Structure 1
């Protein structure tokens, strides 16, 4: 779905697997809260030797996304294969759909498990909930560390300033966000580009139904999550898509 941003929505917590009720609403970060998680971020080593890469794979699962959701199901194994050549990777699936539904899986290290989970999820009509996704990634980054986030979507119907504030927090935590936009909506592009910029990540567009384009983008993000900037640099020597992403990252 496309169009101008609507009024800000309540940013309620993301539901984990097995939970029946959503978490209490989170208030915006106070200055002392920001200072606390920035201090923790500085103490973290996101690419410590021997550590497993952690990538949040976030998808818009509203009704318009069904074709791309099915395509992502078929392509997600490529992320694991790319990461396997560099080290290891755990993926946490986060998606939103319907009326105020936003869910997160546990950390998954097996592509077959992720594919099975995704195959059980159908897309449903509803508005975007990107703010909830960014809040969930922030929570997880503070709790246990996240190396990168991938978002795949075609719409943005939220308050851009609110999203940018959340993106800025992820930037302070050194969690780059790769915003992959399907289609050419200019309002969506501006928002996605800014979220990527504030987090030190990158934005890229792919054509509707373009599996080859999306595959390359997901492989590049997995390379970064598993091996950091150096891994993305190596991939960029043979992959124009990876080179484009690398060129945008701080």
Structure 2
């Protein structure tokens, strides 16, 4: 046993490091876990790039919005999967924005938007704190951050033909979706979002209401993945009883895995949803 481990001395983490994400080496902060997550969990974060590739069977050319782009790891995985569609990477945390902009020099057809997204366009009391590859809001920081609705961002920048919207923002996902309902109604993208009961309840969210809002906009089919990226099940999002059971299962992080990723399809893409489900079922078979 090494002396450092014997004495309980933690190795000092470097301020920055290079991490391997798919086919690319990205700049990350020293405590970022993405490389280990990908190394030790063979399905982790690989589902979204596959879905992005499946979409090309119906939409040969389309746009992708990546909300919570972090250091650009989702972009790297999508590009590693051979998807060359234009990506709009949205990130508000200054530490990650700096690394994101540097990493995006590796790729073509990526536009970076430096902003937080939310339910309304306004100034919000609080600042961000970076921990373990993510950022959390500290409402007692004595500062403010600018928050923008995706509806407004899309209109101001004329974002058209967006067919994949990914949101991973540690509990702010529903707020961002509610600030995107006009955009979603117009463009009907496939939506892929993190579904974490603990983070949602920290934001005072009802864990199942968003599915009714999406159903009212014509969304029908949902695929649920565990947080390690493995397909769990599919259902129609008006199946409130099953969604409630799924939500209760992950509350307090006392289950076999701590959260889900959910991919939902508009009824206009029902054929695409069936194709994706068949391909994903075959993949995991």
Same fold (TM over 0.5): no
**Structure showing the higher helix proportion among its residues:** 1
TM-score bracket, normalised by the shorter chain, equals 0.3 to 0.5
State the TM-score, normalizing by the size of structure 2.
0.38
TM-score of the pair, normalised by structure 1: 0.42
Q: Which has the larger radius of gyration?
A: 2
Q: Which has the higher contact order (CA 8 A, sep 6+)?
A: 1
